[in-house]
Amino acid sequence: MQANVIRIGTRGSPLALAQAYEVRERLMRAHGLPEASFEIVVIKTAGDRILDRPLAEVGGKGLFTKEIEDALLTHEVDLAVHSMKDMQTELPEGLVIGATLPREDVRDAFISLDYRSLADLPHGAVVGTSSLRRQAQVRRLRPDLEVVGFRGNVQTRLKKLRDGVATATFLACAGLNRLGLSDQIARAIPTSEMLPAVAQAAIGIEIREGDTATAALVAPLDHAETAVCVAAERAFLRKLEGSCRTPIAGLATLESGRLQFRGEILTPDGRVSHATERSGPASDAGLLGTSAAEELLGRAGPGFFTTAG
């Protein structure tokens, strides 16, 4: 057990802090430690600084993690808390995922002050979302709607709705639940309608490779079922990655030791999509994700990702 104060690196958004506090609380309970044993270290990332452009234009994944990972590598923090969907599929050399917390609600939430669902929106209504996946899925389901970029943290996006910037938006149910804002959800969208982002609703704890003390500290927090499902999804994404502007969705679930995986790729306009499913033992999680990606790559053809980008 570490004797010194344990420094937890995190972004400073209300949701990121809520996740860091959850990790701290779980560590306190697991080891009988007081709150004074921990320090929350807020680190501003490129994704937090760049607010005037879509993230896909400036690098996509890694924009919410790089500075925190740098602090981990330079021993400024002892562990880092991330939304797993923000993490690159290849971690920087010297870093590993030490634990994955139990997953929250994976579904997307439809949010509107005046309407209860996407189907209820009037023709031409404005839907705001910064997610390329959600943009493509909305355009596929409702090509008559106007889809606009919608950056900012949860509170910022809710304010934009109140200010009339858009009629509706989407957020992750998980984030709203963690912030105590589940009453803002007009409708939790079934995954059969909108497949979520890879690793949505999962929190990961990143540590230095070879740091046995911190590895032992976070090990009790690891939720094996979530870790297996996220591994399948990240293997799927890893095989597909080549364009950060390609909308990609993937979800794995585990029942009685058997993993069910669904994956999807779309063009940004939502007009073309390819989906597939896999089922197999949990021990084959990575292989199932990779196999699903290989199938979609073959079906989409070499021009799909070029066109999507």
Look at residues 65, 48, 154 and name the one whose alpha carbon lies nearest to residue 111.
154
N- to C-terminal Cα separation, the chain: 48
- Residue of 52, 70, 78, 86 with catalytic role: 86
CB of 251 closer than 8 Å to CB of 233: yes
Distances (CA, A) of 227 to 17, 97, 98, 126, 273: 22, 10, 10, 37, 27
Distances (CA, A) of 52 to 41, 141, 147, 151, 246: 26, 28, 17, 8, 20
Residues 123, 113: Cα–Cα separation, whole Å:
17
Please confirm, yes or no, whether 269 is among the known catalytic residues: no
- Measured in residues, the chain has a length of 309
Q: Amino acid letter at 132? A: L
Q: How many CB atoms lie within 10 A of CB 180?
A: 9
Catalytic site positions? 86
